[in-house]
């Protein structure tokens, strides 16, 4: 990697970006906030200069960020990232490129574009669940919402912001753009956007190492890793001391004690601490898949090896006994959830479906289906993730405690269903969403709110 970059730096003639108070390329800048001058040296082509100087007027914030980046210092310019092949599906002109017949640009910059210079990061990222999330949701999990239980605008403002939208056709619409979700379907066939962790146009490593970056998506009732982190001792240390930490150490050189005293999300899941190499596949150090209804061993990696790597992380700061005991305690929490909570409740649900007391499709048209969904998807995940990442309040009060309560509720609703000959129906407002999965299901009726579920389904 290092070798490659030096080569790259060697091939472009050296130039420097001098930042001082003043003006940009002799022209007055429109915005007072950009009181810095960028003196472009040799090594930039005429057109590369044009992009920068015109956009410095159009979008001073962007150019300012870029000019403060390692990219600018290494003469990686707008064109390096935004240039499109004439045949690219997303190729287009901007007002500055119309006069050139052979130059097209695109606002879409994909992991493949970055891979020209960062091939290893791209490869690891593309194999991660972050990049593969669309296939996981539709082909593997067949998420009920994406089968048609919610509509495109609900997905565009929710699911897709975190999971990524579909821009494979190159057409950028109100619904699919802007979007920098983790598994976005790109026009060049790649998935995701590196911007989910490295925001434009600084692309700095320090930002990605901080927990707030991950907390953008990893929060809320169903995956409160952000909340858990900030209630843990590690998070408390981060809050108390991170102003004194050094987040700018080079890749693989960011080490406990020298640079920081407690781990962030990235430190445990990605950074190259001690003998570990940095990874852009966040699944590499996980033994379990605890986001699932029934927890299973990590399907992408050997769970045992993954655990060894995580222990290696902890033992940069803790003794092996401290680390191993803590993680084995997590394994017991997983077993407790699987055996004492999920499996017995699944038996109750399967039994109701088998007896035709509930409709299999649509989902969420009976109260017990909501209760069961929250049981594993919200409460069960909270119990497991609180136990994995030192968040006792999530493990118990928002976790196992809630599981006990909802378990009772499910048992009660199941008894009612048996008495009445059908589960208690509920009103599901709005829908009309397309089925994005490979499942063969009936489309939900237009105006789902008018269907007779409102009054209740007749017993069979
Ligand atoms: C003469 C001024 C000018 C020059 C030169 C110029 N641009 Fe633009 N560019 C604009 C303006 C104005 C917009 C926004 C209006 C629009 O999108 O139609 C824009 C939009 C863009 C966008 C966003 C397009 C979108 O659809 O969201 C990108 C990316 C871009 N330019 C890149 C470049 C690159 C790369 C170059 C150099 C090859 C360049 N621009 C040269 C003025 C310029
Ligand atoms: C290292 C690669 C890289 C460089 C260099 C770069 N960009 Fe970008 N730019 C991106 C990425 C990534 C996005 C986000 C789009 C995406 O997720 O596909 C983006 C988005 C944009 C957008 C559209 C988003 C918005 O907020 O309107 C514009 C316009 C843009 N860049 C202009 C520029 C200009 C002008 C320069 C040069 C000063 C530049 N970019 C340099 C990677 C780059
Ligand atoms: C034309 C080559 C090129 C392209 C394309 C490119 N980069 Fe870079 N990138 C570099 C160079 C050169 C450096 C500086 C490396 C160094 O100093 O070690 C760098 C550094 C980085 C860093 C580390 C910054 C830091 O603070 O240490 C990140 C993160 C990064 N790039 C992300 C991206 C992303 C994301 C994209 C695509 C949107 C991208 N790069 C596209 C060449 C490129
Ligand atoms: C706030 C961001 C966010 C929103 C909004 C969001 N998700 Fe997620 N989703 C996540 C995160 C983060 C995970 C990973 C949880 C984990 O691994 O602990 C996840 C996990 C999943 C999974 C499990 C994938 C697996 O590997 O088992 C599915 C399926 C899913 N989401 C579908 C959806 C759908 C469909 C929607 C909209 C109805 C949605 N999500 C809305 C962030 C989000
Ligand atoms: C899940 C968040 C996340 C995503 C997505 C992500 N990065 Fe990173 N990236 C990081 C973190 C965290 C680091 C710093 C690791 C460390 O502590 O050394 C980093 C470091 C880097 C570096 C510095 C060199 C290195 O490998 O450590 C480059 C270059 C880079 N990323 C490029 C990319 C590119 C290109 C993509 C898209 C293919 C990408 N990143 C996607 C979080 C992310
Ligand atoms: C743009 C939203 C977003 C951001 C930002 C984000 N993630 Fe994720 N993350 C997701 C989603 C969505 C999933 C679930 C993917 C799936 O399984 O379908 C996920 C899954 C994961 C997983 C589980 C992977 C596996 O193989 O089971 C880990 C660990 C993770 N993320 C860590 C991080 C870390 C660390 C950061 C910050 C450096 C981060 N994420 C930033 C959305 C995000
Ligand atoms: C002290 C180290 C540590 C820190 C800090 C940490 N995690 Fe974790 N994380 C773990 C461990 C350990 C697991 C469970 C690994 C296993 O499956 O064996 C885990 C599991 C996860 C999972 C996977 C849950 C699943 O679906 O199986 C996600 C997602 C995740 N962490 C995201 C984050 C995010 C986001 C942050 C920061 C807000 C964070 N982690 C901070 C150690 C850490
Ligand atoms: C960068 C150093 C560092 C790493 C890496 C690290 N920790 Fe910690 N950990 C700390 C510090 C500092 C504290 C607070 C020390 C104290 O209170 O004595 C702490 C506290 C803890 C606590 C006590 C929590 C409480 O509620 O008091 C546990 C448990 C723990 N760590 C487990 C782990 C595990 C498991 C891992 C690996 C997955 C890990 N740590 C990784 C630095 C680290």
**Nearest alpha-carbon partner for 301 in 287, 314, 291, 312:** 287
264 touches ligand 6 (CB under 6 Å): no
pLDDT at 13 over 50: no
Q: According to the model, what pLDDT value does residue 42 have?
A: 52
**Distance from C-alpha of 400 to C-alpha of 387, rounded to nearest angstrom:** 10
Ligand at shortest distance from the CA of 265: 7
Q: Which of 128-132, 206-210, 437-441 has the lowest mean pLDDT?
A: 437-441
pLDDT at 39 over 80: no
Give the pLDDT confidence of 235-253 residue by residue, as tens digits.
999 999 999 999 999 989 9
CB 437 within 8 A of CB 143: yes
Query: Per-residue pLDDT averaged across 115-123, rounded?
Result: 97
Q: What is the pTM of this model?
A: 0.94
The interaxial angle of helices 320-336 and 381-388, nearest 10 deg, is: 170
pLDDT at 451 over 90: no
Query: Per-residue pLDDT averaged across 306-320, rounded?
Result: 98
Query: Per-residue pLDDT averaged across 59-88, rounded?
Result: 96
Buried b (16+ CB within 10 A) or exposed e, 221-230: ebbbbbbbbb
CB 334 within 8 A of CB 292: no
Residue in the block written with tokens 């493949």: 112
Q: Which two tokens stand for residue 410?
A: 């499910």
Task: Determine phi and psi for 355, rounding to 5 degrees.
Answer: -85, 5
Res. 400 pLDDT band, cuts 50 70 90: very high
Q: According to the model, what pLDDT value does residue 43 have?
A: 80
**Distance from C-alpha of 205 to C-alpha of 118, rounded to nearest angstrom:** 14
**Distance from C-alpha of 219 to C-alpha of 224, rounded to nearest angstrom:** 4
Residue 295 CA, closest ligand 7 atom number = 27
Count of residues for the chain? 460
Q: According to the model, what pLDDT value does residue 258 have?
A: 86
Residue to mutate, 17, 58, 70, 78, ligand 2, most ligand atoms under 8 Å from C-beta: 78
Q: According to the model, what pLDDT value does residue 445 have?
A: 61
52 touches ligand 2 (CB under 6 Å): yes
**Distance from C-alpha of 88 to C-alpha of 91, rounded to nearest angstrom:** 5
Rounded to the nearest whole angstrom, what is the distance from the C-alpha of residue 164 to the centroid of ligand 4? 11
Give the pLDDT confidence of 317-345 residue by residue, as tens digits.
999 999 999 999 999 999 999 999 999 99
82 touches ligand 3 (CB under 6 Å): no
Give the pLDDT confidence of 193-216 residue by residue, as tens digits.
999 999 999 999 999 999 999 999
Average pLDDT of the chain to the nearest whole number: 88
Q: Ligand 8 — pocket residues by CB below 6 A? A: 233-234, 237, 256, 260-263, 267-268, 310, 313-314, 316-318, 323, 326-327, 390
Q: According to the model, what pLDDT value does residue 425 have?
A: 84
Give the pLDDT confidence of 144-180 residue by residue, as tens digits.
999 989 999 999 999 999 999 999 999 999 999 999 9
Task: Determine phi and psi for 148, rounding to 5 degrees.
Answer: 135, 5
Rounded to the nearest whole angstrom, what is the distance from the C-alpha of residue 5 to the centroid of ligand 3? 9
Where is pLDDT greater, at 447 or 33? 447
Quick one: CA torsion of 376, 378, 380, 384, rounded to 10 degrees? 140
Q: Which two tokens stand for residue 265?
A: 């999300």
Where is pLDDT greater, at 133 or 40? 133
CB 153 within 8 A of CB 145: no
Among protein residues, the one with the nearest Cα to ligand 2's atom 21 is: 107
Q: Ligand 5 — pocket residues by CB below 6 A? A: 111, 114, 118, 121-122, 125, 130, 194, 196-198, 205, 208-209, 251-252, 254, 266, 270-272, 278, 280, 282
212 touches ligand 6 (CB under 6 Å): no
Query: Per-residue pLDDT averaged across 123-131, rounded?
Result: 98
Rounded to the nearest whole angstrom, what is the distance from the C-alpha of residue 163 to the centroid of ligand 6? 9
296-297/104-105 β-pairing: unpaired
Q: According to the model, what pLDDT value does residue 448 have?
A: 54
């Amino acid at each position: 990697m290092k070798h490659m970059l030096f080569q790259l730096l060697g091939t472009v003639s050296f130039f420097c970006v001098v930042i001082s108070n003043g003006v940009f390329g002799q022209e007055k800048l429109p915005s007072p906030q950009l009181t810095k001058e960028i003196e472009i040296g040799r090594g930039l082509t005429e057109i590369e200069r044009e992009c920068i100087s015109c956009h410095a007027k159009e979008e001073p914030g962007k150019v300012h960020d870029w000019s403060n980046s390692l990219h600018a210092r290494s003469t990686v310019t707008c064109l390096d990232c935004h240039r499109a092949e004439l045949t690219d599906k997303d190729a287009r002109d901007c007002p500055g490129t119309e006069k050139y017949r052979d130059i097209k640009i695109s606002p879409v910059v994909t992991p493949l574009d970055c891979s020209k210079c960062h091939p290893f990061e791209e490869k690891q990222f593309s194999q991660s669940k972050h990049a593969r999330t669309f296939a996981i949701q539709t082909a593997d999990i067949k998420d009920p919402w994406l089968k048609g239980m919610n509509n495109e605008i609900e997905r565009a403002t929710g699911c897709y912001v975190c999971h990524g939208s579909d821009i494979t056709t190159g057409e950028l619409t109100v619904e699919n753009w802007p979007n920098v979700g983790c598994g976005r379907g790109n026009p060049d066939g790649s998935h995701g956007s590196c911007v989910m962790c490295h925001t434009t146009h600084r692309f700095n490593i320090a930002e990605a190492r901080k927990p707030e970056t991950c907390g953008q998506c990893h929060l809320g009732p169903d995956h409160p890793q952000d909340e858990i982190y900030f209630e843990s001792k590690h998070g408390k240390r981060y809050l108390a001391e991170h102003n004194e930490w050094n987040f700018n150490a080079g890749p693989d050189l960011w080490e406990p004690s020298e640079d920081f005293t407690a781990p962030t999300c990235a430190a445990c899941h990605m950074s190259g601490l001690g003998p570990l190499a940095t990874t852009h596949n966040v699944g590499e150090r996980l033994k379990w898949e605890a986001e699932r209804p029934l927890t299973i061993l990590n399907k992408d990696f050997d769970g045992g090896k993954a655990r060894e790597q995580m222990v290696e992380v902890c033992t940069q700061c803790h003794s092996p006994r401290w680390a191993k005991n803590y993680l084995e305690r997590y394994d017991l929490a997983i077993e407790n959830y699987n055996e004492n909570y999920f499996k017995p409740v699944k038996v109750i649900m399967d039994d109701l479906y088998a007896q035709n007391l509930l409709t299999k499709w649509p989902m969420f048209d009976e109260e017990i289906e909501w209760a069961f969904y929250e049981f594993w998807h919200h409460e069960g995940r909270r119990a497991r993730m609180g136990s994995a990442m030192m968040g006792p309040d999530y493990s118990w009060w928002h976790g196992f405690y809630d599981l006990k309560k909802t378990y009772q509720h499910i048992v009660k609703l199941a008894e009612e269903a048996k008495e009445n000959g059908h589960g208690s129906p509920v009103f599901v407002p709005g829908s009309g969403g397309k089925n994005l999965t490979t499942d063969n299901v009936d489309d939900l009726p237009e105006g789902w709110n008018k269907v007779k579920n409102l009054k209740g389904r007749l017993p069979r």
